[in-house]
Structure 1
């Protein structure tokens, strides 16, 4: 079994801090984790992740930064 390769979200900023959302593929599923809690992993599939992201985008208030 190969090791999972995690990719940090582009929205997490630069550097190697522990305030990052990470995504990886794990066989037939997608795996998500928070970098400050790497042992807690959420497994989902593409349609469910797409629905979650769509919901977040449409229900989360946006803050405009000058």
Structure 2
């Protein structure tokens, strides 16, 4: 059982965010993390920015 704080955070996250599970080839994650770190971003932030850039390109 989680603490009340953890339960509250999980409840908020469930309402505020969608989740996506990515399956990538072994070794790919470390490459993405390295690139993200070079840009002072988290891996999550790097993935979101990359996808958004691709969406913009597709719309153009």
Which structure has the highest strand share of the two?
1
TM-score by length of 1: 0.34
TM-score by length of 2: 0.36
Q: Name the larger-Rg structure.
A: 2
- Greater RCO between the two (CA within 8 Å, min separation 6)? 1
